[in-house]
Amino acid sequence: MIIPCIDLMDGKVVQLIQGREKALEVQTSEEMLRKFASFPQIQVIDLDAAMGKGSNDRIVEDVASKATTRVGGGVRTVERAQQLIEQGAYRVIVGTSAFAQGGINEGFLDELASSVGVERIVIALDSKGGRVVVKGWQQSTGLTATNVMRKLEPYCSGFLCTYVDKEGMMQGTDLDWFAELRKWTRHELTAAGGITTMEDIRALTAMGIHCAVGMAIYTGRLNLDELAAFQSTAIQAP
């Protein structure tokens, strides 16, 4: 499955390079919703909330009410996750709060799973320099995705794994890293970070991995019509 991304900052749709440098912005989420209408799911990340610099709640709620969305960014309490589900989010993406000092935040994850249901939870294992990073990719946990995946499986229905080293750089992604991740879990796996070409999309799809795509769509490097056609073919395949 191809999942177009809507990243929000200061009330606008943006794309960042490695979570730091703004590369472009689009005025409204409405425009992107129209363009993404043929895709089964959309990923929405509130970057302000992820970085602890405010939120874009109104836009998140609007998008979630109009499309099947997985929503993340600043989901640090059970109450916040519940609120997003109530606003229409199909799934919530949890990153920072899934981890405590030196390991997994089992208490929080237990409570979250009991509250919203395991099937509604995607855990973000965003990695930079080989280590899982949190707090808007600004802080390393010292953990690796492969070391924690199986321990996290009871608390979620899937993983979002962003290869931060190539995020937004339009240089391709690390297919070998994703192939290794695929070996460690039978859960749904979504790749992000540096996905630039149809070859990337085809390779990841062949591994049984979903593709969350942002910068390559917004810059026109990947054609939405071609992606939609590939998506339709992939869905129909046995």
Domain borders along the chain are 2-236
Nearest partner of 60 among 76, 37, 80, judged by Cα? 80
Q: Give pLDDT tens digits along the chain (238 positions).
A: 999 999 999 988 988 876 666 777 876 889 899 999 999 999 999 989 888 888 899 999 999 999 999 999 889 999 999 999 998 999 999 999 999 987 999 999 999 999 999 999 999 999 998 899 988 778 888 899 999 999 999 999 999 999 988 776 667 899 999 999 999 999 999 999 999 999 999 999 999 999 999 989 988 999 999 999 998 887 644 3
CA distance 33 to 47: 18
CA distance 49 to 59: 12
Catalytic residue chosen out of the listed positions 46, 48, 126, 200: 126
pLDDT value of residue 179: 97
Residue 137 burial (CB < 10 Å; 0-12/13-18/19+)? buried
Predicted model pTM: 0.92
Considering just the CA atoms, what is the radius of gyration of the chain in Å? 16
Give residue for tokens 């962003």. 162
Task: Return the amino acid letter for 136.
Answer: G
pLDDT value of residue 173: 92
Catalytic residue chosen out of the listed positions 7, 46, 48, 200: 7
pLDDT digits (tens, 9 = 90+) for 146-174: 999 999 999 999 999 999 887 766 678 99
pLDDT value of residue 153: 97
CA distance 111 to 93: 15
Q: 2-236: what fold?
A: TIM Barrel (3.20.20)
Tell me, yes or no, if 225 is annotated catalytic. Answer: no
* Residue 3 three-state SS: strand
Tell me, yes or no, if 200 is annotated catalytic. Answer: no
What torsion do the CA atoms of 134, 139, 142, 143 make, to the nearest 10 degrees?
A: 10
Return phi, psi of residue 71, to 5°.
-120, 135
H or E element: which one contains 116?
A: helix 106-116
Q: Could you give the count of Cα atoms lying within 13 Å of 78 in the half-sphere of its Cβ? A: 13
Numbers of helices and strands, H then E, in the chain: 10, 15
